[in-house]
Each structure stands twice: as structure tokens, then as C-alpha cells.
Amino acid sequence: MSKSKNNYIGITEDANTMFAKTLSISDEQMWRWYTLLSFRPEAEITKLKAEVAAGRNPKDAKVMLAKEITARFHSHAAADRAEEDFQRRAMGGVPDEIPEVTLGGAPLSIGALLKHAGLAPSTSEALRLVEQGGVRIDGAVVSDKALKVAAGTVVVQVGKRKFARVVLGA
């Protein structure tokens, strides 16, 4: 399935995006979503709301809602995978599915690599991201703006959410 460009949950989104967008709603909005979107009985929602008010982490309730909604539009297995993917990303890991980009011209400067891989809109913005410590190659922070990336395959991360597997040839 393709990903939707809007900010609303829709059936055109992949399971990971749907799960993550549900988790991003406010704690107050979560209860409205439970009432409108969940198939759980009202008594169960009321009990869960009371548990959160008494100190239970609201994220627990949000994860339950995200899994229920994701499973409805995809599958229970997809919802479980989306939760695992979200947890892995939260711990700084690489998502299961990332785009692969093939580039030539190795060794390629880090700025050009980020631009041509679609991870930065321009070389100057790419270099700013390096200066700010927002670029990683195979998990290691890139701090050298003059870095030349040799031929091979690397996983490049910009910020928390942009990833690409870059296959760099000569």
C-alpha cells in the first residue's frame, strides 16, 4: 500500500505509519478516539480511563488503541510488527523497511550523498545537518563535513525518522 500525504489516518497508510500516528495524538484526544473508533465496551473504556487517572501510564492505553485500529485496517500480525518497529525506533534502531537508493560516483562527499539520496533538499542543508550532529552512517554520528563515503552499502539516517540504504558504486 502507498502512504497517504495527509495528517489523517486512512486505509492507504502502511501499518507502521498508522500505528505511529495514533500514538502521536494527545492524551485528551485519545479518549475521544476510544469512544468513536474502538470496539471495546464503554465500561472497559471507563475503567481504563480511571486507571490512567489513578497513575497508569497513558501510553499503555494509547498503544492498545493503536494496535486495535491498526489491526482493523491491516491485521493483528501487522499491528504487532508496527509496535515492534515503533519500539525499535524509539530505542534508536533502524526500521525494518527503509528505501534503498543506488548512487554512483564513489567516493562521494557526505553533502552530495545526502542530497542525491533524498535525505536533504540541498548540499548546504546536508552540511548543516552534519554540523548539528543529525546524520549517522551505519549508526555512527558523522561529524566531518569533508567526509567522502567510499563505494559499498551503508545505512544513512538523518534525524530520528529519515533512513535510506545507500548502495554507492564507483
Please spell the DSSP secondary structure of 129-149, one letter per residue.
Answer: HHHTT-EEETTEEP--TT-EE
Confidence of residue 4 (pLDDT cuts 50, 70, 90): very low
pLDDT at 1 > cutoff 70 = no
- pLDDT by residue (tens digit) across 17-56? 899 999 999 999 999 999 999 999 999 999 999 999 999 9
Q: Are the C-beta atoms of residues 30 and 68 closer than 8 Å to each other?
A: no
Can you give the pLDDT at residue 11?
A: 44
Could you give the count of Cα atoms lying within 13 Å of 24 in the half-sphere of its Cβ?
A: 11
Adjacent-strand bridge partners of 1: none
Can you give the pLDDT at residue 139?
A: 86
Which of residues 32 and 94 earns the better pLDDT score? 32
Does this model's pTM top 0.85? My answer is no
What is the strand order of the sheet 135-137 is part of? Answer: 100-103, 162-168, 152-158, 135-137, 140-141
Question: How many residues appear in the chain?
Answer: 170
The residue-averaged pLDDT of 62-81 equals 95
Residue 78 has which C-alpha cell? 501487522
Query: What angle is formed at CA 65 by the lines to CA 71 and CA 37, rounded to 5 degrees?
Result: 85
Can you give the pLDDT at residue 117?
A: 95
Confidence of residue 85 (pLDDT cuts 50, 70, 90): confident
pLDDT at 109 > cutoff 90 = yes
Can you give the pLDDT at residue 92?
A: 67
Can you give the pLDDT at residue 9?
A: 46
- pLDDT by residue (tens digit) across 111-170? 999 999 999 999 999 999 999 999 999 989 999 999 999 999 999 999 888 999 999 998
Confidence of residue 87 (pLDDT cuts 50, 70, 90): confident
Domains of the chain with bracketed CATH: 15-90 (1.10.240.10), 100-168 (3.10.290.10)
Task: Give the residue carrying C-alpha cell 502521536.
Answer: 24
CA 156 to chain centre: 14
